[in-house]
Amino acid sequence: MQQGTGASETEVTWEDQQNINKFGRLNNRLHELEDEIKVAKEAIDNLEDASNELILTDEEVVRFQIGEVFAHVPKEDVETRIEEMKEVSSKNLEKLEEEKESVVAQMAELKKVLYGKFKDSINLEED
């Protein structure tokens, strides 16, 4: 995202500068959120696959990874654990999506304000 000002006479006030700074921060946060959402979605997919595998297996004891080791855990305990982990992951994903929506909305607002004042002199699009 470039923030150039063109060859016009529009003065840049402190408030404008703060808006530009805020837009920059929000843009960074948006990229971070998109990465985090991708990771969270992958985690949920993995947990889904794991619980599907569990249903198919007929072994009584499952090797469940805790830290760096695989502990022998009875199947029901593993099922419960995976359900809990899925809950936590989907709540986390929801929170991230909500934050992303709010960031996108704030950025749209700021774009309106900044384009309103600077028109062509400023570029707020992704390169």
Partner 1 sequence: MAAAASSSSTESPETTTERRGIPGAQFVEDVETYLSQIGLDVNSALAFLQERLQQYKLVEMKLLAQQRDLQAKIPDIEKCLDVVATLQAKKGTGEALIADFEVSEGIYSRARIEDKDSVCLWLGANVMLEYSCEEATSLLNKNLENAKASLEVLIADLQFLRDQVTITQVTIARVYNWDVHQRRIRQTATSSTAKVS
The residues that touch partner 1, with contacts defined as CB under 8 A, are: 3-9, 11-14, 17-18, 20-21, 24-25, 28, 63, 66-72
Enter the tokens of residue 18.
């703060």
By beta-carbon proximity to partner 1, the closer residue of 68 and 127 is 68
Residue 5: CB minimum distance to partner 1, A: 5
By beta-carbon proximity to partner 1, the closer residue of 55 and 69 is 69
> Which candidate, 111, 105, 106, places its Cα nearest to that of 126?
111
> Which candidate, 89, 64, 84, places its Cα nearest to that of 74?
64
Residue 125: CB minimum distance to partner 1, A: 16
Q: What φ, ψ does residue 63 adopt, rounded to 5°?
A: -85, 110
Specify whether the backbone of 67 is left (phi greater than 0), alpha (psi in -120 to 50) or beta.
left
By beta-carbon proximity to partner 1, the closer residue of 13 and 46 is 13
Residue 6: CB minimum distance to partner 1, A: 7
